[in-house]
Structure 1
């Protein structure tokens, strides 16, 4: 079983990062996507602590101090540079391929937020466009074994309640994922539930954090849950999202194969 968790760490300062790391290490997720990372000491503490716990980390700090995304994995990984080539903000879109059976590629995303200022809207639009283009270039088989996850900073067209201010290109990103046969895991397992991962100061809920899986992986999804404990404990301002896929690390799969004698 492959357990994946995505959590926005809200560019944690050192004290909060220490508590976040404790929470993360109390769990046994195989793979963690950290969004809204920074170049500061809090993110360094998180990534150093995850490495010390035996996890490999993919993270590209931004030279201009922009927020980013990191992937930490207990399963051996290899880089997936062909997927991320051409993405406008590469520090916000790490990608790795897991040593699983079958191979699973993970694309983590921290989509820029926007207060509707023209420059911020342009930055967000360019990022979403180049991410969509990158996924479109993949072969159908590679997309079928792709997991995309993180903080997309968009809501769906049918989000309840409806909120004004989101632009068509923001809704179109989720449409593009569906067109590429990348399926919203939580919505598939909980079709009648409006989940929220970020709660505004006035109590309004938004679903910004997602995990999408390719066509070959959707049938393997066995669970998906929004975890509000880190938000309620003020470790971050987002709920975490976790999902389990019935996918096996290659080393385990090989041991299972060799352990069963052939019957002739």
Structure 2
């Protein structure tokens, strides 16, 4: 069984990063997609301690100090930069190939947020466009066993509650994933549920965090849930999202018991 978790770490400062690290190491996820990483000491501490606990970390800090994405895994893996050639902000889109049977590729995404300022809209549009182009150019056999996940910063057209302000290209991203055969795992397993992964100050819920799977993995999807404990405990402002996929994997289970180094 392969377990995958995505969580937005909200560019955690060292103290909060330590608490988030403890929560992660007390779990048993095989793959962790961390979104909203930063070039700061909190991210550095968390990633260093994950490596010390035996996980393999793939992370490319952005030279302009932009926020990014990292993947940590207990499953033997190798980086797969060839899967992300052409994506406009590579630090927000790491990719790896897991030593599973069949081999599963994982693409993490931290999509830029946008407050409708023209420069931010252009940055987000370019990133989403290049991600879609990259996925469309990928050989169908590679997409068949691909998992895409992270903080997409978009909602669906039928999201409840309905919110104004999202642009057409933002709505189209989820539709493009579906058209490419990538299934929204939570929606597939819980078709009647409207999940929320980020709650605004006014109490309004948004579903920003997702995990998608290619057609070769869809018959093997067994579980999907949103975990609100880290949000409610102040570790981050997002819920975590986890899925289980029934494929064999060789995993370093001892990493789950390692204790983080105190700050």
RMSD: 1.0
Which residue is equivalent to 1:112?
112
Question: Contact 1:87–1:127 at 8 Å: present in 2 too?
Answer: yes
Which residue is equivalent to 1:42?
42
- How many residue pairs end up in the alignment? 252
What is the distance in 1 between the residues matched to 2:157 and 2:198?
Answer: 17
What is the distance in 2 between the residues matched to 1:140 and 1:72?
Answer: 26
* Secondary structure class of the residue paired with 1:109: strand
Which residue is equivalent to 2:189?
189
- Is there any run of 5+ residues in structure 1 with no aligned partner, and where? 253-264
The structure-2 alpha-carbon separation of the partners of 1:251 and 1:211, relative to structure 1 and needing over 3 Å to count, comes to closer
Q: Which moved more, 1:140-149 or 1:242-251?
A: 242-251
Note the C-alpha offset of 1:59: 0.1
What is the distance in 2 between the residues matched to 1:55 and 1:18?
Answer: 16
Which residue is equivalent to 2:131?
131
What is the distance in 1 between the residues matched to 2:80 and 2:137?
Answer: 13
Note the C-alpha offset of 1:250: 5.6
The runs of 4+ residues in structure 1 deviating greater than 6 Å are none
Which residue is equivalent to 1:122?
122
Task: Tell me the TM-score normalised to structure 2 length.
Answer: 0.95
Alignment of 1:138-149 (within 5 A): 138-149=138-149
* Secondary structure class of the residue paired with 2:193: coil
Note the C-alpha offset of 1:216: 0.6
* Secondary structure class of the residue paired with 2:34: strand
* Secondary structure class of the residue paired with 1:212: strand
Note the C-alpha offset of 1:80: 1.2
Alignment of 1:1-264 (within 5 A): 1-249=1-249
What is the distance in 2 between the residues matched to 1:79 and 1:3?
Answer: 19
- Is there any run of 5+ residues in structure 2 with no aligned partner, and where? 253-263
* Secondary structure class of the residue paired with 2:122: helix
What is the distance in 2 between the residues matched to 1:175 and 1:228?
Answer: 26
Decide which structure has the larger Cα Rg and report it.
1
What is the distance in 1 between the residues matched to 2:175 and 2:206?
Answer: 18
Question: Contact 2:55–2:73 at 8 Å: present in 1 too?
Answer: yes
What is the distance in 2 between the residues matched to 1:53 and 1:251?
Answer: 13
What is the distance in 1 between the residues matched to 2:26 and 2:251?
Answer: 24
What is the distance in 2 between the residues matched to 1:6 and 1:15?
Answer: 20
Task: Tell me the TM-score normalised to structure 1 length.
Answer: 0.94
Which residue is equivalent to 1:258?
none
Q: Flag the structure with more relative contact order, 1 or 2, with Cα contacts below 8 A and sequence separation at least 6.
A: 2
What is the distance in 2 between the residues matched to 1:49 and 1:227?
Answer: 22
